[in-house]
């Protein structure tokens, strides 16, 4: 029956890993916060005018992004159609 060496190595690795588990520090990289106190942030005060300007800025950026995307798709489509027509001839 083959595979004896592979199984022995697997058992050895499992034992070594079990020994390493006890040495691991549980709280080293804890992302869970158990404190009940609330974190306070020092956020800047904003006015309705400033919020409106930010909204307009994002709207302009989205329009430009959409235009670039449509332009890129259009150019790609034209190149693809031209290549397809050239191949068919």
Rounded (to 5) percent helix, strand, coil in the chain: 70, 0, 30
pTM of model > 0.85? no
Does residue 32 lie within any of the structural domains?
A: no
Does residue 1 lie within any of the structural domains?
A: no
Does residue 36 lie within any of the structural domains?
A: no
Does residue 25 lie within any of the structural domains?
A: no
d(CA 77, CA 79): 5
Q: Which helix (H) or strand (E) holds 15?
A: helix 4-23
Does residue 56 lie within any of the structural domains?
A: yes
Q: Which whole number is the average pLDDT over 35-58?
A: 87
Number of structural domains found in the chain: 1
Does residue 2 lie within any of the structural domains?
A: no
pLDDT tens for each residue of 49-65: 999 999 999 999 999 99
Does residue 61 lie within any of the structural domains?
A: yes
**Which residue range is the domain that position 81 belongs to?**
46-89
Residue 60 has what DSSP assignment? H
pLDDT tens for each residue of 9-20: 989 999 988 888
């Amino acid at each position: 029956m083959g595979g004896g060496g592979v199984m022995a190595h697997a058992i050895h690795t499992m034992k070594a890993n079990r020994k390493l588990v006890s040495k691991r520090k549980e709280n080293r990289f804890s992302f869970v916060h158990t404190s009940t106190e609330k974190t306070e942030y020092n956020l800047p005060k904003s006015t309705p005018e400033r919020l409106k300007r930010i909204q307009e800025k994002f709207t302009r950026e989205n329009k430009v992004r959409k235009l670039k995307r449509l332009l890129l798709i259009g150019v790609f489509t034209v190149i693809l159609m031209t290549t397809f027509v050239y191949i068919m001839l």
